[in-house]
Structure 1
Amino acid sequence: MPNKPARLFSRLTPSTERTLADVLRTERAGGILLLIGTVAALIWANSAWSDSYEAMKSFTIGPEALHLHLDLAHWAKDGLLAIFFFVVGLELKREIVVGELRRPSTAIVPIVAAIGGMAMPAILYTVVNLQDGGSTAGWAVPTATDIAFAVAVLSVVGKWLPNALRAFLLTLAVVDDLLAIIIIAVFFTDEIDFVMLGASVACIIVFAVLASKRITSPWLLFPLAFAAWAFMHASGIHATIAGVALGMAVPAIKAKGEKHSLAEHWEHLWRPVSAGFAVPVFALFAAGVTLSGEALSSAISDPVAQGVVVGLVIGKPLGIFLATWLVATFTRANLDRGISWPDVLGMAFLAGIGFTVSLLIGDLAFNGEREAEVKMSVLAASVLAAVLGAAMLAWRDRSYRKTYESRSIPVGHDRMGDAHELAREIGGVAEPAPKQDGADTH
């Protein structure tokens, strides 16, 4: 009997589905708070109190002796985003050790899609900026995906979409974050103080040893983590890299007697802090830009802004879709039952929502220059990508719902159980069956 062809976006294990549901809940709330922080920044920066907004951003605090006498905007960019990247590190560790990235068969699609989704925007941005007045320094700005915004949009328009497709977006974003981290570390580091870097690495190693032995006293780990961050900041490498390294140092396999691994437990604990506080506050500091006719005209005619919009709105979905199609073509794999290529394209458009990491990379790439153009282009491109992705997925969502509702459930059967299984069969999402006594609620 011939072997059955592999299927892309295959169904998930119960553990992965549980984790997916948890991530969707927290990121949806985080996306709403991120939107609130962004709107607040735009209103404040364009109000009669705009001077107070700039004064807040430039207010400095911190010990000069430790090279940490920074303004609040830098504390948000270097400090609060370290929490965000710590959660990314935890998620990466779990995905690589026990998640979808541990097996080549399930890892190949999001990895190749993420690479395509970063290469194509960079290429298109560079092509646009070969003209007079352009700058190739910002090639990495349109390569990032903001998972909080993307999941927030998905939660509104994608109730009936397949879980496997949702997991694809999340796993793609994890790989995307890893590639963004590599870009930040490699391309945006001018000089390295190896003594400071060595001190940071030593702190991270001690942190890893303590975590592996389940010595988790905050009186030990918090000072170590802060020292690792401070030394990394002083080394010349962006301080958020320390957050990723600390997250990757946490064990992702359960020890004897543990209900959940330490990485899973800390991710569950710190994700609300990241999505609900760190990233929205960063948006409050980073998204404020003056929106005037002159500024908008300047941005529209600026090749940098044009390249960012083209990269995020066209390059991202094109790169992800083509990469996924190539995987299907060369591996002769089929899409899982109930999933179609328009679904993939809709998800690819959502990946064009750059925002958080795009703003960070834009600041690193231009070091304060072309600030308004970069911010306006990232905001405009993210909104446009969200609208296009939402429109396509809302259309697909209606199709899944009609398919589900057209099926009949036999009289006398367990209707809730049959409905759930039927929705899974056609790729939809049904309401979960009533929880049994003693069920795991984590």
Structure 2
Amino acid sequence: MSRKALLDDCFLHDKDRLRHQEALEILKSRMSAVADTETVRIEDGLERILAEDIAAPRNIPLADNSAVDGYAFRHSDFDEAGGFFRLQQRIAAGHASDADLGPWAAARIFTGAVMPPGADTVAMQEDCETHQQDGQDFVIVPQGLKTGANCRKAGEDVAEGTTILSSGQLLRPQDLAAIASTGQAQVNVFRKLRVALISTGDELRRPGDLITVGDVYDSNHFLLRGLCATAPVEFEDLGILKDDANLVEETLRKAADRFDVILTTGGASRGEEDHVLQALDTLGRCHMWQLAIKPGRPMMFGNIGSCVFLGLPGNPVAAMVCFLLYARPVLSVLAGGSFLEPQRFQIPAAFDVPKKKPDRREFYRGFLGTSDSGQTTAHKFARDGSGLITGLREADGLIEIPEDVTAIQKGDPVTFLPFSGFGIR
């Protein structure tokens, strides 16, 4: 798509703006990892992006072992009526036995203990009876056990040489457990992206400052701090930029030398006091601007040298929607991960939209409920204003309405994007 199409007048009709899927394709085509790698202890690897493939150097588990406390025996000695076995060994976890079980012999065995040579089946202790005769301990095993019952085979979890995790995966607690199970104590990860957070506007004040009529508190900064906490980044607050063209340009120029990404809110239009887009044109290049979405139309994507620039709208709802849909997957790719796609569920609508503008994708703040029949339904926050933080707070996801849909009736299937799928509780 041409530069002119991305940077044309903000009063163009939506059909001439960049569609949601077109914007995603541009972002996917322009992005690649920029972060270096480092080695960390696995306990420090949580929510870091893996920079190597992890393969099992040996079978996991290493040897056949018991899944329960009970009695190990050879199933070939077993018959339909059950089994009467003499107790020959006692094996606890961490203490393997090298002695073969003799015919009609059993070993007292505990969970996790290595199976004795020859044994292939374990009976649970609560299903067995023990007694002693002529100084010999015996165990009676009930009928019905299948070969291999309660026995975990070597390599049952992971066979030697199997790739457990691939480079680019975000490490979760269960992934760290998988790495630990291989015996590997350290892991190679991509370092966290360096991100500059910048708010813009003469009207902005930080909490704790006095305000007068016309001022507003900078809620976007704290919104983005929290959203960045769900991404593999470390951010620095560069404060609030006044509506001064020279100040904006100089701040962006210096930030581009220090950071991997500049993330701004506000100043994304072409008004007389909106200087961010002008500064981006002067210092670098804008690859995307003006989207056919609601909320979030003036979303900017560009670069200043090797620094990626992401300019979010100034309204809080639009800023959050654009971060989740566009900035979050970009940050993931730059940090060495994949281009993150949101979870999507088809759910019946519990609301009506008599008329929707065509050629524009809309994202409503929504929450899930239950109908009288017990069916899960999607509910729309009653007010649509993109400055209403209350809608973000009360919602637990977004309702996505495609460009070709012009009306919604109760019961129509709609696409629900839960916030939990974006890493937000």
Question: TM tier, shorter chain?
Answer: under 0.3
More helix by share: 1
Greater RCO between the two (CA within 8 Å, min separation 6)?
1
- Greater gyration radius: 2
Task: Calculate the TM-score normalised by the size of structure 2.
Answer: 0.21
More strand by share: 2
